[in-house]
Structure 1
Amino acid sequence: MVITFTEITQWLGLIWWPFVRLTGLFVIAPFFVDKAIPMRVKILFAFVFSLLLAPMIDTVPPFNPFSIDAIIFTLYQLIFGFLIGFAVMIFFTIFSIAGQAISMQMGLAMAIMNDPANGVSIAIIGRIMFITAMLLFLSIDGHLIVLLQLKNSFTHWPLDSLFPFTSIDYVLKMVSWMFATGLLVAAPAIVVMLLSNITFGLMNKAAPALNVFALGFPMTMLLGLFAMMASLTGIGDHYFELALELNRHLNYILRLPNG
């Protein structure tokens, strides 16, 4: 039995191209990118998933590690996976923005903690809401939906696809959806805290002798907790609707004509 170099490159392509696209997803997608997960585990996940995806891909170009085209195609596959992961990251950033907006209104803007997923420090309420959103996402098998969309990307974005300019433009436009939805989630808390601050200001104006602001800070904290409770009331149904909207965004991104 004689194995030619062409057959070797074809076998390598079956594993390499899905592996690279999965790596692009794992580079930025929440949960997968969390620094609590060792790098070796991430590489193992990508390798195992690429083995599972290999039989589902129709046409696979060969992978010649000594070719310039292979390097260009590798960069393309990284970008394809990165786009899907970036769209998922936008979804989770909605809740971080909402939590940070609530923290600023409560006076907890200085109470920050390190975010191991992004390597930055964010407001503590934002981190709590981010973790809650992550647990809800895992509870509804959202991570499986993301992997399914990545699998569908090999159908809508074949391995020989051109650069996805249109999809990149649409993903960047999703940033406006992120800010609008984040402020909408935090709106009840922002309104309650605004009214409380106006009330304390009027009390201080009516009775200057009273040290209203000494009482105002703990009262603001207490009202902030109730306001956050009001913001999270019914968040389950709203969260599920946002998850479905994310799925629609991913479907639309995959079906955009590229080139």
Structure 2
Amino acid sequence: MNMGFGLSVEPQLWALLFVMVRVGAAFLAAPVFSAVSIPLPARIALTGAIGVLTMHAAPVVAPDEIFSITTMLMVAAEAMVGLALGFVLQIAFAAPLVASEVMGVSMGLGFAQAVDPQSNTSTPALGQFLSVLLTLLFLSVDGHLVLVDLVVRSYALMPPGEAWLAPQRLLNIALFGGYAFLAGLLLALPVGFLLLCVNVIVGMLSRSAPALNLFAVGLPASLAMGVIAILIALPAMGDYLLVIIHEALEASQLLVLG
């Protein structure tokens, strides 16, 4: 038995585990990959497969001392870069939830809750519909492949061991959180404007005819108008969802990788 072969495998194994930290952290925070419906063994296998490809695309050397403070700091830096790449995308994916809150309250669907299959939490039913639509569009434009490409390219821009994010980049990532509210409001703008007009009309009717039952007329009218408005505005909302995906991928590259 060739003992030299066994000695040459161990550094490669540590290098693979070192690479898997950044890749696994990105998948832990990124949408689609972080869905609870994906089994943990499948995530680990996917992370390891991408880690092997990354080792061939970029020179990765394992730390000299495995159990040391320097190595722990390097691992923390790798995890921070991966989490930042996925977290920026996760911020953009929160825009449909903001839009659903704006539209759902005006339509009277604020009480309609459903379990989100990705996060396993209770979310508005309308927000779940928009989130599923955004996820399908993200997969249709190969956004998941672009994310993998960003993770692999990050090793050329931020070599392992030198990947610590500057405070200014962390601040920019935090400020990007406002984009979720901006995109959500713009996504709900067509439907929200029509619902506002309906509420104004119902208010005028309630003032002109005080005996009119506002709840018996206003709530069904708002719900019907909201459903019709969503059906009419759905193509435009789909186009803006593509814009959100494009902005999220661009922000991941700009805010994290520079």
Q: Given the two structures, how large is their TM-score scaled by the length of structure 1?
A: 0.91
CA deviations over 1:56-93 (Å, ceiling 9, x no partner): 11242336433332222112111111000001101111
Q: Give the alignment of 1:234-245 within 5 angstroms.
A: 234-245=236-247
1:136 aligns with 2:137: yes
Of all paired residues, the percent bearing the same amino acid is 25
Distance 1:162 1:15 in 2: 17
CA distance in 1, matches of 2:64, 2:217: 68
Preserved CA contact (<8 Å) 2:19 2:51? yes
1:9, 1:62 within 8 Å by CA — same for their partners in 2? no
Task: Establish whether residue 38 from structure 1 lines up as the match of residue 22 from structure 2.
Answer: no
1:128-167 mapped onto 2 (5 Å cutoff): 128-164=129-165, 165-167=167-169
Secondary structure of residue in 2 paired with 1:14:
helix
Conserved 8 A contact 1:102-1:190:
yes
Worse-superposed segment, 204-213 or 103-112: 204-213
TM, length-normalised to structure 2 = 0.91
Q: 115-124 or 182-191: which moved more?
A: 115-124
How many residues were matched structurally?
256
2:174 paired residue number: 172
Task: Kindly provide the CA deviation profile for residues 168-207 of structure 1, in whole angstroms up to 9, marking residues without a partner as x.
Answer: 2111111111111110110111111111111111111111
Tell me what 2:76 maps to: 75
Q: Provide the residue aligned with 2:63 in structure 1.
A: 62
Greater displacement, 60-69 / 197-206 = 60-69
**2:81·2:163 contact (CA, 8 Å) conserved in 1?**
no
Alignment check: 8 A CA contact 1:13 1:63 kept: no
CA deviation string 1:21-75 (max 9, x = no partner): 1110121211111111111111111111111111111242336433332222112
Give unmatched runs, 5+ long, in structure 1: none
Q: Which moved more, 1:81-90 or 1:39-48?
A: 39-48
Q: Tell me how far 1:119 sits from its aligned partner.
A: 3.5
Q: Distance in 2 between matches of 1:134 and 1:5?
A: 44
Letter in 2 for 1:124: A
C-alpha contact (below 8 Å) 1:87/1:171 kept by paired residues: yes
Partner AA of 2:145 in structure 1: L
CA-CA distance at 1:243 after TM superposition: 2.3
Q: Could you say which residue in structure 1 is the equivalent of 2:101?
A: 100
- Which segments of 5 or more consecutive residues in structure 2 lack a partner in the other structure? none
Per-residue deviation, 1:219: 1.4
Q: The residue matched to 1:118 in structure 2 has which SS?
A: coil
Write the mapping of 1:213-224 to structure 2, written as runs, cut at 5 A. 213-224=215-226
Alpha-carbon distance in 2 for matches of 1:170, 1:8: 41
CA distance in 2, matches of 1:240, 1:18: 31
Q: In the TM superposition, what is the alpha-carbon distance from 1:217 to its structure 2 partner?
A: 1.4
State the 1:9 CA deviation: 5.3
